[in-house]
Chains A and B, each alone.
Chain A
Amino acid sequence: MEVKEIIRPENLVYKRTPLLTDAYLSYCPGCGHGTVHRLIMEVVEEMGIQEDTIGIAPVGCSVLAYDFMDIDCSQAAHGRAPAVATGIKRLWPDKYVFTYQGDGDLAAIGTGETIHACNRGENITIFFVNNGIYGMTGGQMAPTTLEGMKSSTSPYGRNNETMGPPYKITELVAQLEGTHYVTRQAVHKPGPVRKAKKAIRKALELQKENKGLSFIEFVSNCNAGWKMTPNDSNIWMEENMFPFYPMGDIKVDGKLVNG
């Protein structure tokens, strides 16, 4: 069968969601941010909730997330996205409100807002992309940078003794009463992408049920910051990030999975 016979509207099985704008993604080649953006927008499209969804963009690589998602968005000060989302959701309880944040934004400068929004059980969704580095500012050490991992501010590798160890904020927020669904996902391979999408759908559906806060971490790559090719960075991520940040659900239906 000729290729042009296959490429017909009736045979279409996958196309880019129209909820991603035409703007050229500002991310480096192979960066997981684009995939997470797309999955969120696919879910918003499939649930038919574009008119009722408000996203909060952070400071960091995804500061321009609002350029790529065809929904109403608010751009927050560094780390403050959960507070901004709280303000919106409290006044518009019927809307779907999510934050989209990186590890520096969420787990360093925004720790207070993250913990307290989670603890209050704000009925929002936090999408947390953890690539273990400050990408936008040039690859500095993040709160999630692994021990021994090199960055521009830990050029000889992270020294846990002097710089403090990396920490797992996702496990931390799972301990709080206000979180209902906490999970860790990845988007580097087709299988994980499909699972991640299901997690996103579940999280947004939970907002409708007023169950409290849903928190999804995506362990992702930063090939530019890690100074690797995209595929090498994905392999490195599986070998080094996943053992410290294990995949899977941490809290489901308000109960710790390994509690």
Chain B
Amino acid sequence: MAKAKGAIVVDVERCKGCQVCMVNCPTDTIGMAEAVNGKGYHYAYMKDPESCTGCTNCAVVCPDGVITVYRVKKN
């Protein structure tokens, strides 16, 4: 299956670790880091970068707007 390739960039210091992005990720790409940021939150990260399609669902539901999404449109 020729899936689009995507990637996200998380603004680690603004992430509050609420996990709303994680449960809304259709490809189970996102996990929460074991490390914490300056505020003490386990921040979101791409635990499985290969699976990201760049669908933007995570960014769209992120209450703090910390996710930037990239997608390679065509191979």
Contacts and interface: CB of A to CB of B under 8 A. Distances in A.
Task: Give yes or no for direct A-B contact (beta carbon below 8 Å).
Answer: yes
B27 interface: no
A231 B72 CA distance: 30
B16 A7 contact: no
Interface residues of A, number: 36
Range, interface on chain B: 20 to 34
Nearest to A42: B65
Contacts of A230: 18-20
Interface in B29-67: 41, 46, 49, 54, 56-57, 59-67
Given A194-B60, A230-B20, A34 B65 contact: yes
Interface in A1-58: 1, 3, 5-8, 11-17, 20, 24-25, 27-35, 38
Contacts of B69: 12-15
A234 interface: yes
Contacts of A16: 11, 65-66, 68
Contact of A31 (B63, B71, B72): B63
B70 A13 contact: yes
A230 B10 CA distance: 19
Contacts, number: 97
A193 interface: yes
Given A15-B68, A190-B57, A231-B19, A32 B24 contact: no
Nearest to B65: A16
Contacts of B68: 12, 14-16
A29 B17 contact: yes
Interface of A: 1, 3, 5-8, 11-17, 20, 24-25, 27-35, 38, 187-190, 193-194, 229-231, 234
Interface of B: 5-7, 9, 11, 14, 16-20, 23-24, 41, 46, 49, 54, 56-57, 59-73
